[in-house]
Amino acid sequence: MSFLVSCARSLFFLDFWISNPLDLDPITTNRTAPQRIGWRNPCMDTAGMQTAERRLHSLEKTIVVVLLFAVLALSFGFADAAGKRKKVRVPRPIEQISQAVPHNVLLASSVALVQDVTSGETILGKNQDAVAPIASITKLMTALVVLDSRLDLGQRVAISGDDTDHLKGTRSRLSVGTVLTRDQLLLIALMASENRAAAALGRTYPGGMPAFVAAMNDKAQQLGMRDTRFVDSTGLNSANVSSARDLARLVVAAHEQPLIREYSTRESAEVDSLGRRLAYRNTNGLVRSPDWHIELSKTGFISEAGRCLVMRLRLASREVVVVLLDSWGKQTRTYDAMRIRKWLESRIAAAPRG
């Protein structure tokens, strides 16, 4: 800045010199000539003085133009050198990550939320307040109500025709007449999202399915889930709706139950059904990866809800809840989780330490 000011001052004085040549002309001032009244230089008449004056003025202007170009060249040179200086990137503190670049993560899910469990901070949000169908994420609330009721988990329950899906006609490997313990039903409902198992859990609740659904909605109110409504225990009905913020509350509450943590993240299990050994696998393939530290998981899908996934896990040294709803591809909810993990780890790695 000081250099530019100096250049401006120089240009001002050069311009002044051009505009006022007589003040600097030794001929017109005639400082060395005698200043007697009536004295005249016999060697120079008026015409000669004017001719010499014009020549000198022309030479001065040429010199000034050359100097002007020199000053301008120096100015551009310094400006170019200053422009090439590298800008120092100031790392953002970790507290500013969530508000800085959440839009940089390209997600296929229409709704997404990543929330810090300890602070409640929203690390990443996308339509997190939108109310949408939640499909089999419903089964987390089903499990909570069953465990809150303190019903005998060892009690044997028979699958009946009432447990079949008359709404969408989905199939199940659990044949009518299969007898399993309530504990086994809870396991495959959480781990493999078995719909007939979840239906049987609601049907055998004291007061039947209507009482069970009422208990689900009461529990939602207790947890502060104001955007949530349940109409069945399976999630097959698209009237089971919630928001990502509400589901984060549900995940936190469900995580307090050791049995839900264990069953929802178990990789596989087997049960007997009318003499057949049925093998089930977790619907969330990430639980089988040693690179993921998932403490609770639940998937869901119906056409109205799209692909859904909720998890409580450890990412980049932080305990977080991840909610993904209405993902349009079969594997996109998994890829969304991977993108979120990569984004969060890269941001924390880039944040200043200490």
Active site residues: 136, 139, 193
Residue-wise burial string across 217-234, b where 16 or more C-beta atoms lie within 10 A, e elsewhere: bebbeebebebbbbbbbb
Task: Kindly give the residue spans of alpha helices, DSSP state H, lying in the chain.
Answer: 2-19, 26-29, 46-83, 97-100, 138-149, 182-191, 195-203, 208-222, 244-255, 258-265, 332-350
- Which uninterrupted H or E stretch holds 133? strand 132-133
* Residue 300 contacts residue 235 (beta carbons within 8 Å): yes
* Residue 319 contacts residue 104 (beta carbons within 8 Å): no
In DSSP terms, 309 is beta-bridged to: 299, 324
244-255 and 138-149 are packed helices; what angle lies between their axes, rounded to 10 degrees? 40
Instruction: Using CA atoms of 322, 212, 184, 314 in order, give the dihedral in degrees to the nearest 10.
Output: 10
Calculate ∠ Cα 266-270-274, nearest 5°. 150
SS3 call for 104: helix
> What type of residue sits at position 278?
L
> What type of residue sits at position 176?
V
Neighbours of 24 (CB within 10 A): 12
In DSSP terms, 92 is beta-bridged to: none
Q: How far apart are the first and last CA of the chain?
A: 36
244-255 and 258-265 are packed helices; what angle lies between their axes, rounded to 10 degrees? 110
Nearest to 257 by CA among 123, 176, 139, 166: 139
